Chains A and B, each alone.
Chain A
């Protein structure tokens, strides 16, 4: 999509130019700050460990509980003398990766269910959406914990479980979009020239519902990172010796009096990442929603 800015259509249809959206997104200062933060965090987590002199699993029992900024360990050490910065970076890899992967899986499920329910409607559509309603009745953390307790913990399991408990809102959004788009002229036109159901659903309708889907995807990354931290904190997510921002907090409560930085640093990282994704989602919503064109 490289529509020149001059030919931006003025109708409130789905034809929002990428350029206009990008211009609006750039004006959203918090979203830009969020993007920058995520880039820095991601780069730091994926490149940082190569630059650090410490391995995240290296145990230095003589150096345990070194406070931040007190010596060679910039952010201090934990109860086993492991370097916290190194662990934050390795944990960040896992937390961010789970955030993105869980989002991708959740989007795939949500889009598939939403498109099918919205396109076919009828008993199939309402059966699917009642199923969505039913899953949404369970408070996410309760459902996630019940499922996590029943499976072998691990990165893959955690990712899939988070996806399994966070696709429903996507399905709802997509279903509503497809249901309204399906009656539009271009869909009728596609059908009249003999396009198949699959083609209409995924090539004709879905691209026109991209704006809310992109926003939902961004917010889902934030939600997935948050959920990972919850179940890892409660002991059913990422298991030691692997670190994630959530499981670094798992032990921190015991040492709250003697080594508060163990609790404060990973939490800050989570908050920073999640806030950033939420702001990006906010900015994307403003940028992609044609009804909000202020100029």
Chain B
């Protein structure tokens, strides 16, 4: 296990380095630059811009800026927001909780419902339920998340008036119940795509396992069907779902950005959009790096977990 762990960690570190270079390159080589917002202002003379540029260290060679930036990043100094001068890590951190609430709730819903649909579809292959679920999953993967959000707002908030149309809290009400009431719609909207992915993978994994010899053996020795399915098939079919959970992360983060925008949920995704609008590069950069790091961490954890539960992986 240890050699595998070391090798996998090494790969992740190399990847993180490339990711950081990419992120840095994207934001610094592109036209516009961090000071483009000042350049438009008539009150700013070229000397002013040069001075700010010097203060922010933007006049140094790019490799130097990169090395400096990476070194600070590793020390936890992610720079300060151009917008209000507070530390980037603090700004992002204050939005993380809302994002995690949303993502965790959506994942929970998607995982439970998606796996259930997938398992049932595999057991009753080609039944009406299976056909509808398969088609439904494909449609769910094709619906733009933001549009689904708009439709949900129209039905549940505008027409029926059951759910709030946005925000995380009613003003002046900090109760958990109020939070959950606000969470339902965005979480369900975010869960839809995830659910479709879970259902598709779960179905094919379950079908894969049901076709194995050991399932035939279990049936042949006279075990009741539910026992074959739940104790022999399902337990093995669930293993690859660990990988699915890891792979879901980029979709989940992207979906969260959209859901947060539609439902004005004060999370990291909305912060990202706002920061882009303000050309607040340190924050944009920080979120970009953090989300890439989270994606990598997700797949790393999934791989390691998988290696723990399935010894065959470690051997390759």
Contact = CB atoms under 8 A, between A and B. Distances in A.
A138 B291 contact: yes
Contacts of B258: 141, 230, 234
Nearest to A140: B254
B142 A274 contact: yes
Interface string A117-152: 000000000000011011111111111011101110
Contacts of A257: 158
A30 interface: yes
A222 interface: yes
Contact of B287 (A131, A142, A267): A142
Given A147-B26, A256-B154, A267-B150, A142 B253 contact: yes
Interface in B134-181: 135, 138-139, 141-148, 150-151, 153-154, 158
Interface residues of A, number: 45
Given A138-B288, A139-B254, A263 B139 contact: no
Nearest to B250: A139
B30 A134 contact: no
B279 interface: yes
A55 interface: no
Given A140-B254, A150-B30, A233-B144, A134 B19 contact: yes
A275 B144 CA distance: 11
Contacts, number: 141
Given A137-B295, A137-B296, A145-B272, A30 B135 contact: yes
Interface of A is mostly: helix
A270 B144 contact: yes
Contacts of B287: 142
A256 B150 contact: yes
B144 A252 contact: no
A190 B8 CA distance: 37
A289 interface: no
Interface in A192-233: 222, 226, 229-230, 233
A130 B288 contact: no
A226 B295 CA distance: 21
B31 A151 contact: yes
A271 B147 contact: yes
B99 interface: no
B292 A137 contact: yes
A183 to B, nearest CB: 19
A278 interface: yes
Contacts of A134: 15, 18-19, 22
A214 B273 CA distance: 34
A233 B284 contact: no
B251 interface: yes
A68 to B, nearest CB: 15
Given A139-B254, A146-B276, A260 B144 contact: no
Contacts of A233: 144, 146-147
B27 interface: yes
A156 interface: no
Interface string B274-316: 0011010000100110011101100000000000000000000
Interface string B15-53: 100110011001100111000000000000000000000
Which of A135, A136, A150, A278 counts the most B-chain CB atoms under 10 A from its CB? A150
B81 interface: no
Interface string A248-260: 0100110011001
B250 A271 contact: no
A282 interface: yes
B272 A142 contact: yes
Contact of A271 (B144, B150, B272): B144
Nearest to A260: B154
B172 to A, nearest CB: 24
B206 interface: no
A47 interface: no
B262 interface: yes
A194 B288 CA distance: 48
A256 B143 CA distance: 18
Given A138-B19, A147-B30, 4 more contacts: A137-B15, A151-B30, A249-B146, A282-B138
Interface of B: 14-15, 18-19, 22-23, 26-27, 30-32, 135, 138-139, 141-148, 150-151, 153-154, 158, 249-251, 253-254, 257-258, 261-262, 272-273, 276-277, 279, 284, 287-288, 291-293, 295-296
16 contacts: A138-B19, A138-B22, A139-B257, A141-B254, A142-B253, A143-B26, A146-B276, A147-B30, A150-B27, A150-B30, A226-B144, A249-B147, A267-B148, A270-B143, A270-B147, A271-B147
